[in-house]
A and B are shown apart, each in its own frame.
Chain A
Amino acid sequence: MGALSCRHVLSMSDLSVDDIDLVLETATPFKEVNERAIKKTPTLRGLTVVNFFLEASTRTRTSFEIAAKRLSADAINFGGSASATAKGESLVDTAQTLDAMNCDLVVIRHRYAGSPFILTQNMRAHVINGGDGKHQHPTQALLDLYTIRERFGAVKGLRVGVVGDIAHSRVCGSLVWGLTALGAQVVLVAPPTLLPACPKLLACPATPGEPETAPVTVSSRLDDVLPELDVVYMLRIQMERIEQAPFPSLREYAQLFGINRRRLAAMKPEAIIMHPGPVNRGVELTSDAVDTARNLLLYQVNAGVAVRMALMYLLLGGEDDGFAS
């Protein structure tokens, strides 16, 4: 078993392609653990994992909590909606407080970009970014890559459409980097009002000396690109994170950028739908599209626990194995 090249995972750029491969490979045996009757390994016994969530989250927090507990770590949830910062304590002070309690790993979710870095400067624990503002959500990207690789065998050469709110999506920030790092072609599909200023910069830059990674392209016409796609990745429309309505109505958005029965029929037979959840039914996906077997959302959720177990294991455990016994 190898080791990661990084101490913290704040951004997909912290992970080399070898690191990504290692995480995904390590996740597979954990996925098997999760299918057992007794879903627990002693791997991280005695270690403390803090889920430091300063922004409302149920799915991601639960997934991390389950992952930590199945590795026998002591998993603590800290924060919730009533944050320490709401009491006037700075993130620096909260981090130092947690550090004084000798945590081994902290998963942070916060509405402000770059906040995980502040933790790394103020505590000794490993830090995993569980989503920072509109910046990064690397474990989501890893579980997405796992799901895609499980389905297609490899990521390289696939055509992946990422559809929706590119501008405000931390999922997209991580996913596009990961996909391009592993050699997929990515097309971003969105109205211009939901694109960041330089969408092509979301890609992993080519390593000097290596062949150039496939460029990221941009389109505002889902119907034009849909028949070519192997993966249709639908981003959630996050009403809470959009200041001014970037489209006239959900109805028009769904007409232009939603997957419905007609668009399902236009997809390649083997193409899959993915979504980071939770779905706004009738917006990104009609119920037909949610309930079809090509929608892998629940596989993603399932892989999420294993991928997060793998990441925690690699950051905290490394060599002294024992989980797969």
Chain B
Amino acid sequence: MALLLKSARCIDPSVGLDRVTDLLIRDGRIVEVAEGIQLNKGVEIDCTGLIAVPGLVDLHVHLREPGQEHKEDIASAGRAAAKGGFTAMCAMPNTVPTTDTGSRVKAVLARASEVTRTRVHVAGALTAGLKGEALSEMGDMRAHGAVAFTDDGRGVQDSGMMRRAMDYAKQFGLPVLAHCQDESLSGEGVVNEGAVSTRLGLAGYPACAEELHIARDIALCELTGCALHVQHVSSARGVALVRAAKDAGLPVTCEVTPHHLFLCEDDIDDTYPTSLKMSPPLRTREDRDALQKALLDGAIDCVATDHAPHAPHEKALEFELAPNGTTGLETALGLVYTALVATGRAELALLVERMAHAPRRILGLDPVSLAVGSVADLTVIDPALHWTVEASDFESKARNSAFVGRQLVGRARHVLVDGYATLENGKAVPC
């Protein structure tokens, strides 16, 4: 079946495209990019005033299935991704049970193919059971489709173990996604160590607990040659370490979350908002500003949401008892668009690079572009839509967004995966 996107502003820096044109899609592929295409038979979508870009990818998502389907499942996360403008996402392995064998990778991928059109990729555990003690069966997981390895959520405490894991992972050509946290320094910390920990009487998690492991893992990257992707970098010095590693020519990349980009520790007031409890924690205003700058100048490769859904009763606890994380799939695009594009600080091409191309490159996925022959994974954005983040509006099962109440501009209108709509006119399409 043919699908014609009419008069969209098509932006794809990978093929040097930025003009208003028509896009013709047939059998899941882009077959023509030209003005004035006439369609005899098929569906035509008027995209006047809208922006078409290669489909966005979130390479850091917690699907919660299997094992914690009360928080989220693959189907609801798939709808949330579509609503947020994402065509693909990469699942972290800290499910119940842990995704640490080939058969479990296979099971997640099989389930995903049944319940969602949003592309689901799987990161397998770096160590068995995420315990940081023994290698996982990376070869078997690779054979069953894993695209990366990570102990996300905890991080490998023992440096020798991390070296062994990176050494071993290297042969498969897949990146190691590193959750950087030296637990001997972060201790019981639940907020950034500094003003907020003092003010609220909460144990602090200093940025250096994260930075030390970033520095360690960069050194191990140099020693082993294994590609390293630093997850959710949260501090200015953390970024500086990654920047220096890149300058030295090492295969190091990093991501930043929308919450570290657009919130800081000062937002945690004396109401102890557990929606702002994260790991790593929100850092200082200066850190936040440095992260924004680094995203713009390229020291940070991509935006990843660390989408961490929780049930309402799980977050409605004493701050120290509440679980970490915020949802992110449905707000990331609007946040980045509002703060960086609508303000003129970044071109749309940069958003496409940081939210579509870079994540695919990091995970070694097939590239997607707005060129003839490319698979038709694309996101159509309404850049003029003003909206307010409301918990009742989420496709995700969870409500724990750190951004509820925030006024944004820019939102996904249509999302296509393989030429099929997963979002139509702002509504998620049931699978």
Contacts and interface: CB of A to CB of B under 8 A. Distances in A.
B183 to A, nearest CB: 12
Interface string A151-178: 0000000000000000000100100000
A197 B270 contact: no
A170 B193 contact: no
A200 to B, nearest CB: 9
Given A13-B270, A117-B272, A91 B195 contact: no
A246 B206 CA distance: 17
Interface string B188-227: 1000011101111111101000000000000000000000
Contacts of A170: 201
Interface in A91-111: 91-92, 110
B316 interface: yes
B193 A133 contact: no
A136 B319 CA distance: 15
Contacts of A199: 198
A277 interface: no
A114 B319 contact: yes
B202 A113 contact: yes
Contact of B270 (A90, A114, A202): A114
Given A197-B193, A243-B187, A135 B317 contact: no
A196 B197 contact: yes
Contact of A136 (B195, B201, B318): B201
B321 interface: yes
Contact of B316 (A90, A115, A132, A197): A90
Interface in A61-96: 90-92
B41 interface: no
Nearest to B190: A113
B40 interface: no
Given A114-B272, A198-B195, A243 B188 contact: yes
B271 interface: yes
Interface residues of B, number: 24
Contacts of B194: 197-198
A232 B202 CA distance: 26
A91 B313 CA distance: 11
Q: What is the interface residue range for chain A against chain B?
A: 20 to 34
Contact of A202 (B198, B272, B313): B198
B318 A115 contact: yes
B201 A133 contact: yes
Contacts of B193: 197
A247 interface: no
Given A13-B270, A112-B320, A134 B202 contact: yes
A201 B195 contact: yes
A60 interface: no
Interface in A186-207: 196-199, 201-202
A147 interface: no
A140 interface: no
A92 B313 CA distance: 9
A113 B201 contact: yes
Contacts of B317: 90-92
A92 B198 contact: no
A115 B201 CA distance: 12
B201 A173 contact: yes
A135 B198 contact: no
A6 interface: no
The 7 A-B residue pairs with the shortest CB-CB distance, nearest first, are A135-B201, A114-B272, A112-B318, A134-B201, A196-B198, A198-B198, A113-B201
17 contacts: A10-B270, A11-B270, A92-B316, A110-B318, A112-B319, A112-B321, A113-B202, A113-B318, A113-B319, A114-B200, A114-B270, A132-B201, A133-B201, A136-B201, A196-B197, A201-B198, A202-B198
Given A113-B201, A135-B202, 7 more contacts: A10-B270, A92-B316, A113-B202, A132-B201, A134-B203, A196-B204, A243-B187
